[in-house]
């Protein structure tokens, strides 16, 4: 089976490829010579994932899945959530996003947060959705240099180290994306 993963993010492609059985051939958007950013203007993580999958399906008429992820922080009423990628504004990067989040949490005792991933799959013109959530806490400062995004400031429940201190395989064992991907794989295997 051939599937396009609607991303240009090599970290995500690598994470997902290491989880998916070899008989499912995954390629990213670069394999379609598509190098643009797909707009992420919807008001929920789920809607963004569906939008991205539909965008590629409509353009190339090809089986495709897209994911969208957000970090939801309890003391900030679920922020940054759907705005996780651009939390610190237009010119933001992961460091600026993390710094803003740590600053907004400075006076907060409640450090509970969760990562949520939604995968939208369009297979033979039908839409399917898969969700993965991992609960944890936000650190007081950045820890570790692996992973990407908010990994250095997120400690998953039951651990004392941040996601940025996990190897890819360890992170894949428990992460929000791997939970959603495993649901996707189980569906594809049926």
User: How many Cβ atoms sit within 10 Å of the Cβ of residue 11?
Assistant: 14
Check residue 85 for interaction with ligand IMP (CB under 6 A).
Answer: yes
Task: Report the sign of the C-alpha dihedral through residues 52, 80, 178, 26, in that order.
Answer: positive
Residue pair 155/162 in contact (Cβ under 8 Å)? The answer is yes
Catalytic residue (one of 23, 28, 67, 68): 68
Closest CA to 136 of 160, 105, 165: 160
Residue 93 annotated to the active site: no
Give the x-and-dash track for 41-70 against ligand IMP (CB under 6 A): --------------------------xxxx
Site for ligand IMP in 93-122 (CB under 6 A): 94, 97
Query: Is the preceding peptide bond at 46 cis, omega within 30 degrees of 0?
Result: no
Check residue 149 for interaction with ligand IMP (CB under 6 A).
Answer: yes
Binding span for ligand IMP by CB under 6 A among 27-35, 106-114, 119-127, 142-150: 142-150
Check residue 139 for interaction with ligand IMP (CB under 6 A).
Answer: no
C-beta closer to ligand IMP: residue 60 or 83? 83
CA–CA separation, 102 and 117 (whole Å): 22
Strands 126-138 and 154-156: antiparallel
Active site residues: 68
Give me the residues that bind ligand IMP (CB under 6 A), please: 67-70, 84-85, 94, 97, 147-151, 163, 175, 177
């Amino acid at each position: 089976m051939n599937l396009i993963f609607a991303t240009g993010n090599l970290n995500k492609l690598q994470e997902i490829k290491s989880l998916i059985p070899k008989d499912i051939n995954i390629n990213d958007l670069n394999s379609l010579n598509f190098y643009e950013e797909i707009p992420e203007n919807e008001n929920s993580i789920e809607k963004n994932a569906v939008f991205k999958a539909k965008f590629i399906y409509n353009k190339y008429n090809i089986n495709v899945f897209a994911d969208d992820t957000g970090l939801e922080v309890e003391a900030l009423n679920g922020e940054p959530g759907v705005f996780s990628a651009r939390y610190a504004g237009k010119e933001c990067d992961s460091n600026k996003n993390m710094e803003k989040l740590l600053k907004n949490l400075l006076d907060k005792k409640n450090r509970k947060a969760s990562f949520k991933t939604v995968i939208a799959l369009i297979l033979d013109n039908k839409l399917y959705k898969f969700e993965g959530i991992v609960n944890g806490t936000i650190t007081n400062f950045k820890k570790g240099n692996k992973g990407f995004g908010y990994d250095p400031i997120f400690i998953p429940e039951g651990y004392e180290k941040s996601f940025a201190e996990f190897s890819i395989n360890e992170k894949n064992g428990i992460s929000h994306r791997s939970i959603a991907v495993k649901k996707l794989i189980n569906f594809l295997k049926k």
